[in-house]
């Protein structure tokens, strides 16, 4: 029997090949008259070409970095004010979407970005519309209220309803040019979202259903998408899996594996997906129980052991770093401490203190 739960999903999702080409009519439907596009350098020329054809695109901030900086948020928000925009469209991986979210949330405020960043000032009541357009199949940021932004070496994950997009445009064609290694990193991030939403202490029945389907799709399509990026069926299935992965953790939040990903990214510079993948098979074994076994069966696997082995094999296939020796000199004390005190660790179904984390990492020596 299902327990009590609250399920929220306020994002209008437009899914399908070629959907991004309908941005104009989607903006019209949402009542958007003037938007700023935030994207990385790779997409910037295309964004500028779009701007020439559609007068509703009033400016482009095309300098979003891999770990998005607060300075990029400030510049995007400045463009919004200068051109009196009523929406920000984030096109890219999590970085561009997170930049768009933050800029839209503060553009109408009278405070400094850093004050909102540090929680010294509440976000303004008036906000711009956020339209999220993922180009990788991984972060799920298009359906969550999370924005991860760095200020210098400080990296903050801010969870706030002000960051919830009004619409997500998930167009698998946009992911067709993503290189193999990024396809693997982001695909394993999507898998981590589904598994962590499922085993989070706050898991709930609707999210569980989506997690099972996301795991099934990743297991059936990630290797193909990695080996043959032009296989649109695999790309479309991964885009859908990533969306479901995002929806699986949006309410329950992630757990131990994501908690460990932050120190691994900050101190050892692993990209987010690779950092999550680093401990994912370990956490599958640590969190293995009847429920996880059931998920594996429903996702077409023989059990948790096969799931863990296949994750390890995918990492190996793409040459992802998966042992401590791949990270250079490791400060074990600090790594275990930082993982243990991360807020998301409280969501892990198995209690993980510094000693338990040390035992886990020692197996990865």
Give the interface with Zn ion as residue ranges (CB under 5 A): 189
Q: How far is the CB of 316 from Zn ion (least distance, A)?
A: 21
Q: How far is the CB of 239 from Zn ion (least distance, A)?
A: 16
Which CB sits closer to Zn ion, 129 or 242?
242
Q: How far is the CB of 276 from Zn ion (least distance, A)?
A: 5
Q: What is the C-alpha separation between 99 and 77, in angstroms, rounded?
A: 9
Q: What is the C-alpha separation between 215 and 217, in angstroms, rounded?
A: 5
Which CB sits closer to Zn ion, 20 or 249?
249
- Which contiguous run of DSSP H or E holds residue 228? none
What would the two tokens of residue 309 be? 């082995």
What would the two tokens of residue 330 be? 């490791």
Q: How far is the CB of 256 from Zn ion (least distance, A)?
A: 13
Q: How far is the CB of 73 from Zn ion (least distance, A)?
A: 20
What would the two tokens of residue 334 be? 């600090």
Interior angle at CA 27, CA 23 and CA 29, nearest 5: 115
Which CB sits closer to Zn ion, 95 or 129?
95
Which CB sits closer to Zn ion, 86 or 189?
189
Q: How far is the CB of 7 from Zn ion (least distance, A)?
A: 20
- Pairing mode, strands 129-134 and 167-170: parallel
Which CB sits closer to Zn ion, 75 or 274?
274
Which CB sits closer to Zn ion, 189 or 223?
189
Is-contact 110 126, C-beta < 8 A?
no
Comparing every residue's Cβ against Zn ion, the nearest one is 189
Q: Tally DSSP H helices, then E strands, for the chain.
A: 14, 8
Provide the 8-state DSSP code for 9: -
Q: Which 3 state secondary structure label does DSSP give 280?
A: helix
């Amino acid at each position: 029997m299902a327990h009590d739960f609250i399920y929220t999903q306020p994002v209008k999702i437009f899914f399908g090949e070629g959907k991004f080409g309908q941005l104009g009519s989607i903006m019209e439907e949402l009542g958007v008259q003037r938007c700023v596009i935030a994207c990385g350098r790779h997409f910037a020329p295309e964004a500028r070409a779009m701007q020439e054809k559609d007068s509703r695109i009033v400016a482009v901030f095309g300098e979003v970095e891999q770990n998005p900086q607060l300075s990029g948020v400030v510049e995007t928000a400045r463009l919004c004010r200068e051109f009196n925009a009523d929406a920000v469209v984030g096109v890219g991986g999590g970085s561009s979407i997170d930049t768009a979210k933050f800029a839209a949330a503060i553009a109408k405020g009278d405070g400094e970005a850093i004050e909102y960043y540090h929680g010294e000032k509440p976000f303004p009541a008036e906000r711009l519309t956020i339209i999220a357009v993922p180009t990788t199949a991984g972060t799920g940021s298009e359906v969550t209220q999370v924005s991860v932004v760095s200020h210098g070496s400080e990296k903050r994950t801010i969870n706030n309803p002000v960051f919830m997009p009004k619409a997500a445009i998930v167009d698998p064609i946009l992911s067709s040019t993503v290189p193999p290694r990024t396809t693997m990193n982001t695909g394993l991030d999507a898998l981590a979202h589904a598994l962590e939403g499922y085993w989070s202490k706050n898991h709930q029945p609707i999210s569980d259903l989506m997690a099972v389907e996301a795991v099934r799709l990743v297991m059936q399509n990630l290797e193909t998408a990695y080996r043959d990026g032009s296989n649109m069926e695999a790309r479309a299935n991964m885009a859908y899996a990533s969306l479901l992965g995002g929806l699986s953790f949006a309410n329950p939040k992630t757990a131990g594996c994501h908690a460990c990903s932050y120190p691994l990214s900050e101190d050892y510079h692993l990209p987010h997906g690779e950092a999550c993948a680093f401990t994912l098979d370990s956490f599958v074994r640590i969190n293995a129980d009847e429920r996880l076994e059931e998920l594996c069966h429903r996702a077409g696997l023989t059990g948790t052991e096969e799931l863990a082995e296949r994750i390890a094999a995918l990492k190996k296939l793409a040459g992802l770093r998966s042992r401590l020796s791949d990270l250079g000199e490791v400060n074990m004390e600090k790594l275990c401490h930082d993982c243990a005190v991360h807020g998301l660790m409280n969501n892990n179904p198995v209690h993980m203190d510094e000693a338990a984390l040390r035992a886990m990492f020692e197996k990865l020596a």
